[in-house]
């Protein structure tokens, strides 16, 4: 991952920022590990999600739907819907990364919110963007998985982890993810419309399906706004 063409001070700044992001995300991984076990998954299943799925919002959605009694299909579809944004991230940074072979697989696994944001925040020179991506992606991956295993084993050691009320952390986490993106009246209108649809359908549909319906509302609204603009 070394980029000798970058000044040493620049490399250190990028690496330091990436490490800080990794530590903060790792702390969030603690919550995921504990919530997943409280939702009914065992530590091995929980760790497998972090190792292979590795996209926090989708992981929380999956265990949240399962913990609420939803079916596996609804849980997987909800997680997939949230994970599609990573494909859009990949399209935006592919020209910068310029990777192939096994490195392309590694880059795909590490394409998440944090690594993409860091890559786009250091566009010049391209070597800085690539270093920011790899440094952030690796830091988050390692510390997220460490946080997951600690949280999962800690929750598994408790007789009834659900009694801790960890399920409340799932909606709180999603609100924290959503809040910074509510910029402008259009985003607020889309969010409120999705919330109304989800709340209206909750008494009638199994857990997870109201979220999918709200996602459909958001997708349709984005399409309509795109056509108008």
Single out the residue of 48, 57, 51 nearest to residue 80, CA to CA: 57
Tokens of 55: 């996209």
- Taking residue 79's Cβ as centre, other Cβ atoms within 10 Å add up to 22
Lowest mean pLDDT among 39-43, 141-145, 146-150, 210-214: 210-214
Higher pLDDT, 228 or 43: 43
Q: What is the mean pLDDT of residues 107-122?
A: 90
Lowest mean pLDDT among 49-63, 107-121, 204-218: 204-218
Going by pLDDT thresholds of 50, 70 and 90, the confidence category of residue 147 is very high
Q: What is the mean pLDDT of residues 50-77?
A: 86
Tokens of 24: 């903060």
**Calpha distance 148→35 (Å, rounded):** 10
**Calpha distance 173→27 (Å, rounded):** 13
Taking a C-beta distance cutoff of 8 angstroms, is the pair 93, 68 a contact? no
Alpha carbon 191 to its chain centroid, in Å, reads 18
Best-predicted range by mean pLDDT (55-59, 77-81, 109-113, 180-184): 109-113
Segment 168-198, tens digit of pLDDT: 555 665 666 566 667 778 888 888 888 888 7
Alpha carbon 35 to its chain centroid, in Å, reads 15
HEC profile of the chain: CCCCCCCHHHHHHHHHHHHHHHHHHHHHHHHHHHHHHHCCCCHHHHHHHHHHHCCHHHHHHHHHHHHCCCCHHHHHHHHHHHHHHHHHHHHHHHHHHCCCCHHHHHHHHCCCHHHHHHHHHCCCCHHHHHHHHHHHHHHHHHHHHHHHHHHHHHHHCCCCHHHHCHHHHHHHHHHHHHHHHCCCHHHHHHHHHHHHHHHHHCCCCCCCHHHHHHHHHHHHHHHHHHHHC
Best-predicted range by mean pLDDT (98-107, 172-181, 214-223): 98-107
Segment 37-59, tens digit of pLDDT: 888 899 999 999 999 999 888 89
Tokens of 219: 């997708």
Domain borders along the chain are: 8-166, 182-229
């Amino acid at each position: 991952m070394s980029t000798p063409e970058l000044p040493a001070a620049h490399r250190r700044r990028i690496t330091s920022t990436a490490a800080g992001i990794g530590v903060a995300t790792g702390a969030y991984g603690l919550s995921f590990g504990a919530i997943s076990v409280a939702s009914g998954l065992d530590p091995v299943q929980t760790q497998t999600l972090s190792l292979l799925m590795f996209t926090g919002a989708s992981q929380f959605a999956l265990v949240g739907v399962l913990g609420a009694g939803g079916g596996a299909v609804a849980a997987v579809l909800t997680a997939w819907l949230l994970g599609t944004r990573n494909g859009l991230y990949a399209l935006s940074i592919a020209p910068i990364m310029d990777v192939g072979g096994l490195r392309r697989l590694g880059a795909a696994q590490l394409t998440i919110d944090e690594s993409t944001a860091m890559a786009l925040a250091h566009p010049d020179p391209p070597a800085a963007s690539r270093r920011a991506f790899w440094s952030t992606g690796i830091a988050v991956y390692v510390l997220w998985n460490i946080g997951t295993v600690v949280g999962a084993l800690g929750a598994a050691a408790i007789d009834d982890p659900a009694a801790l009320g960890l399920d409340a952390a799932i909606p709180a986490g999603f609100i924290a993810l959503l809040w910074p993106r509510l910029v402008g009246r259009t985003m607020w209108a889309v969010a409120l419309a999705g919330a109304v649809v989800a709340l209206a359908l909750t008494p009638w549909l199994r857990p997870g399906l109201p979220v999918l319906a709200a996602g459909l509302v958001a997708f349709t609204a984005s399409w309509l706004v795109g056509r108008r603009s």
